[in-house]
């Protein structure tokens, strides 16, 4: 069943400005992400996409403005608190635990929600075993979902690049996010891998997870997103349906005029 985007705000970026010394990385950026949609955040190099992600996930504090997730302010929250609130992300440069197996990497994500106290873990109380078993089953299901169930016991460092990207997504999903933020998930992929990723992103959305996607590959962005926000030099220059954005002269000038391999 295909999920239908709603008009219920999940994440609100409200006039966010973020300065690094003299550099204005974000300049009064304003957009809303609605529950159930796949929103693309695009723009040329240095446009402020990653900075925007980092502000949303609590790494940077906006200099001005406000970000609200599920109606609650993000600013002042620690990263693990934001994860608990239901936001997960992957990184432009893959960040896995290379000396841990695929399964163990996903278990790190499921741990974000386990309730076992130190006492019940120390004494291996029944609740501890129950949670252990459930976490493992969930991790296996997620590895199956992203298509690398067969690599369960392989060290992350031995996985292919594409498998590592999938593993990162599985680990992020293990935190039961309402919002999954993907930072250039198709970087380094060949066309067939990109097509598979596009399917996976749709499947993720169809499980009820809202997706924010930063991506350079225009075909992928146009093919998978419901709406797109375009940044240039830290400012939002366009927002709308993929076809509207594609035909917007400002966007063409800023971004689509640049050949893919130069982006």
Ligand X SMILES: Nc1ncnc2c1ncn2[C@@H]1O[C@H](COP(=O)(O)OP(=O)(O)OP(=O)(O)O)[C@@H](O)[C@H]1O
Binding site for ligand X (CB under 6 A): 20, 23, 25, 43, 45-51
- 231, two tokens: 């940044």
Question: Given the complex with ligand X, which of 32 and 51 has the nearer CB atom?
Answer: 51
Strand 9-20 with 23-34, pairing: antiparallel
Residue 171 CB, shortest distance to ligand X, in Å, is: 22
Question: Given the complex with ligand X, which of 51 and 248 has the nearer CB atom?
Answer: 51
Residue 22 CB, shortest distance to ligand X, in Å, is: 9
Any idea what DSSP says for residue 145? H
Question: Given the complex with ligand X, which of 48 and 58 has the nearer CB atom?
Answer: 48
Question: Given the complex with ligand X, which of 49 and 151 has the nearer CB atom?
Answer: 49
Contact 53, 5 (CB under 8 A): no
Contact 60, 51 (CB under 8 A): yes
Contact 231, 55 (CB under 8 A): no
Residue 105 CB, shortest distance to ligand X, in Å, is: 24
- 73, two tokens: 């302010």
Residue 95 CB, shortest distance to ligand X, in Å, is: 15
- 254, two tokens: 């800023």
For residue 118, what is the enclosing H or E element?
A: helix 118-122
Residue 204 CB, shortest distance to ligand X, in Å, is: 22
Question: Given the complex with ligand X, which of 45 and 158 has the nearer CB atom?
Answer: 45
Residue 143 CB, shortest distance to ligand X, in Å, is: 28
For residue 172, what is the enclosing H or E element?
A: helix 161-173
CA gap 225, 131 in Å, rounded: 36
Question: Given the complex with ligand X, which of 49 and 165 has the nearer CB atom?
Answer: 49
Residue 239 CB, shortest distance to ligand X, in Å, is: 16
Question: Given the complex with ligand X, which of 16 and 148 has the nearer CB atom?
Answer: 16
Provide the b/e sequence for 168-186 (b: ≥16 CB within 10 Å): bbbbbbbbebbbbbbbbbb
Strand order in the sheet with 87-89: 87-89, 179-183, 210-214, 38-42, 227-232, 235-240
Residue of 25, 173, 159, 190 lying closest to 94 (CA atoms): 159
């Amino acid at each position: 069943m295909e999920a239908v985007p709603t008009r219920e705000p999940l994440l609100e970026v409200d006039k966010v400005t973020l300065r690094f010394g003299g550099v204005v990385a974000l300049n009064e950026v304003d957009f809303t992400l609605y529950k159930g949609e796949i929103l693309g955040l695009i723009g040329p190099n240095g446009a402020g996409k990653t900075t925007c992600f980092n502000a949303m996930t609590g790494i940077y504090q906006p200099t001005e403005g406000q970000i609200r997730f599920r109606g609650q302010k993000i600013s002042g929250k620690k990263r693990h608190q934001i994860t608990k609130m239901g936001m997960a992300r992957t990184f432009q440069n893959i960040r896995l635990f290379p000396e841990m197996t695929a399964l163990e990497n996903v278990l790190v994500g499921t741990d974000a929600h386990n309730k076992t106290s130190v006492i019940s873990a120390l004494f291996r109380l029944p609740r501890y075993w129950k949670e252990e078993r459930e976490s493992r089953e969930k991790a296996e299901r997620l590895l199956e979902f992203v298509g690398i169930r067969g690599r369960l016991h392989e060290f992350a460092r031995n996985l292919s690049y594409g498998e590592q990207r999938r593993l990162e997504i599985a680990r992020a999903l293990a935190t039961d996010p309402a919002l999954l933020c993907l930072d250039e998930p198709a970087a380094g992929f060949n066309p067939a891998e990109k097509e598979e990723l596009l399917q996976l992103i749709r499947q993720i959305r169809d499980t009820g997870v809202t997706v924010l996607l930063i991506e350079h590959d225009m075909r992928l962005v146009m093919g998978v997103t419901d709406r797109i926000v375009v940044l240039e030099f830290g400012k939002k220059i366009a927002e709308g349906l993929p076809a509207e954005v594609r035909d917007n002269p400002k966007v063409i000038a800023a971004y689509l005029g640049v050949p893919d391999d130069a982006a």
